[in-house]
Structure 1
């Protein structure tokens, strides 16, 4: 057997002796799993090839899982949706016993919504904050309060994401309420109604946000921590802010659809994605924070995620997002659509 044939044969074998598979990953576009250098290295190491399909909202993700059984092998699911996906039979438990990197995942993340009745339905992968970022050209000093969005000095140069849940939780923070236990929705609605005249535009994607900021059209806009790191890395004049009112924290996990026929390859890919070596390289390109304690510890001291999300004072101000039931989501959606209609 030639060396080339031997190499081909070796690459065709994965853990457990299974032949190489093509796995299909469902995720946000540009969110780590589709980095060319990472998927190419995974393929070289295991023989498995990786194909991606994308969604633009969690609801779209769930719909794709419901209507395309067997089409996907790995799916990115926000922890607030993991239980729903499990209860609908869309994802199954993951055997982590053969994963070399699972033991270094932070124990705190293994105790949340991704582990249900002792079974892992989502491997904790990344986490971050929904807060806001400023155009540093518009401020001498970064504001320390969410109330900057209502400052008349920034009228027509403000933006928030066109998402009902984010908007309502943003309003809850601005009115001093717990984002998971909003006791006065009327106050939130009134606060958001006061914000509408300030809005230049609503954004829906990271690309939208970057284009508006690059054009100098915005002074301040809600944003995600990992996205802010990427935008700054691109050279945009942005600074991420966690105000005194706090921010909403989220956790994303990598799950395996119950209908997948390539579960071993899927788990191997997830293990690759939580590897500290992969994460440190991704962090330099603008990653969210890692749920892997070893990966977080390996970051250089000047890393955005180590400086901002590793600050104990910041951690004290964040509220992790709980699952939101369908009835509450519908209520928030009606509120948000009503506000936009009256703008």
Structure 2
């Protein structure tokens, strides 16, 4: 066979391999579009693809835009666009102001805000191949299902507490772990609170209220708590954080000695050999679960949104989440796939028992949340 015949034969073989991989969904959209013309494959031969402008847009927490959490999606469709939010209320405000997003990552205590605002769409779970492996109790949990409809596909779950440096706090705090550390002048400038109305909620709990009572506080009671506790918490915080990376770095350097934090902060620092403890505050040790919600403001093909959600629900993503952050995942098979030592270090493998062991953050009415948002915003403005 002459050289040019060999080359032609090789090209034909590569072309057939390309078409085969394309038909099996093993190529990203970008690869398909780039290689199609090179192999003489017409656009009509390509599988049904969204238009070039139909790139998925996600409203997401800082850190969750890491490609390892949705690898199977990116392999097929390329990298989505991300808009990072500081909290669910920030994300909701963006959507209501006209921001076009396809998927959002709320938590159990905030889903109702998106549903009530009519920006969340029902999720057809028959389009999710990994739904069958989601913990049954999470499939029907409050915030996942509302009015008989699935409005959030649960993905991650964990704790909210105080991460602190045991080598830098005093013995009294270690013996009496409390949310009061954020209001103690002894630690002024040495703590970091989340940029959240929880600054006020925790203060009400220090006044003797239960968490549920504090979360539903309104009127003069709420304003008084903001004046007494909200200002103190804000003034004592070296910074009000929105990105966990900021907290990790500050705790690691000793710039702060304690912070509101999730499980990943504890894992990241202990993996670096930095002494850090995770408090069980006497007023309450909090738990949560979050997930992905379809938004009706998006412009991308809905198939892309479902593919992204399904990628997040995969056991491979769960393995990454468990081993990388110490957080729980909704897919039961994640715990079989993940490193056994990493699972053991988590201390929990059952989301329902996990919720029972802590105080679950709850949903409140739109009216109460709106009032809390305003009071918290006013509190921060007064401290600037």
- What is the TM-score normalised by the length of structure 1? 0.81
Match status 1:136 vs 2:166: yes
1:182-197 matches, within 5 Å, as 182=214, 185=222, 186=224, 190-191=228-229
Rounded to whole Å, the distance in 2 between the matches of 1:303 and 1:140 is 31
Q: Counterpart in 2 of 1:5? A: 19
Match status 1:158 vs 2:185: no
Query: CA contact under 8 A between 2:101 and 2:295: conserved in structure 1?
Result: yes
Rounded to whole Å, the distance in 2 between the matches of 1:63 and 1:194 is 27
Rounded to whole Å, the distance in 2 between the matches of 1:269 and 1:87 is 24
Q: Counterpart in 2 of 1:211? A: 249
Q: Compute the displacement of 1:120 (Å).
A: 1.0
Match status 1:181 vs 2:220: no
Match status 1:87 vs 2:116: yes
Match status 1:286 vs 2:325: yes
Q: Counterpart in 1 of 2:67? A: 36
Rounded to whole Å, the distance in 2 between the matches of 1:67 and 1:191 is 31
Q: Compute the displacement of 1:191 (Å).
A: 4.7
Rounded to whole Å, the distance in 2 between the matches of 1:132 and 1:329 is 26
Question: How large is the Cα RMSD of the aligned pairs?
Answer: 3.5
Q: Deviations over 1:308-329 (max 9, x none)?
A: 6869588433232223524444
Rounded to whole Å, the distance in 2 between the matches of 1:162 and 1:40 is 30
1:1-343 matches, within 5 Å, as 1-11=15-25, 18-19=48-49, 22-31=55-64, 34-44=65-75, 46-47=76-77, 49-68=79-98, 71-109=100-138, 110-139=140-169, 142-146=174-178, 149=181, 154-163=187-196, 165-182=197-214, 185=222, 186=224, 190-191=228-229, 198-260=236-298, 261-296=300-335, 299=338, 300-303=340-343, 306-307=346-347, 315-331=356-372, 333-334=374-375, 337-338=378-379, 341=382
Rounded to whole Å, the distance in 2 between the matches of 1:340 and 1:64 is 20
Q: Counterpart in 1 of 2:42? A: none
Query: CA contact under 8 A between 1:158 and 1:219: conserved in structure 2?
Result: yes
- Secondary structure of residue in 2 paired with 1:77: coil
Query: CA contact under 8 A between 1:175 and 1:191: conserved in structure 2?
Result: no
- Secondary structure of residue in 1 paired with 2:105: strand
Of Structure 1 and Structure 2, which has the larger fraction of its residues in strand? 1
Q: Compute the displacement of 1:271 (Å).
A: 1.3
Residues 342 and 122 of structure 1: is their aligned pair in 2 closer, same or farther, counting only changes over 3 Å? Answer: closer
Rounded to whole Å, the distance in 2 between the matches of 1:335 and 1:270 is 32
Of Structure 1 and Structure 2, which has the larger fraction of its residues in helix? 2
Unaligned runs of 5+ in 2: 1-14, 30-46
Residues 333 and 22 of structure 1: is their aligned pair in 2 closer, same or farther, counting only changes over 3 Å? Answer: closer
Q: Compute the displacement of 1:273 (Å).
A: 0.6
Q: Compute the displacement of 1:134 (Å).
A: 0.5
Residues 26 and 153 of structure 1: is their aligned pair in 2 closer, same or farther, counting only changes over 3 Å? Answer: closer
Residues 133 and 76 of structure 1: is their aligned pair in 2 closer, same or farther, counting only changes over 3 Å? Answer: same
Rounded to whole Å, the distance in 2 between the matches of 1:173 and 1:119 is 34
Greater Rg over alpha carbons, structure: 2
- What is the TM-score normalised by the length of structure 2? 0.73
Which stretch of structure 1 is more off in the superposition, 93-102 or 173-182? 173-182
Number of residue equivalences: 336
Query: CA contact under 8 A between 2:248 and 2:265: conserved in structure 1?
Result: no
Query: CA contact under 8 A between 1:80 and 1:324: conserved in structure 2?
Result: no
- Secondary structure of residue in 1 paired with 2:95: helix
Q: Compute the displacement of 1:270 (Å).
A: 0.8
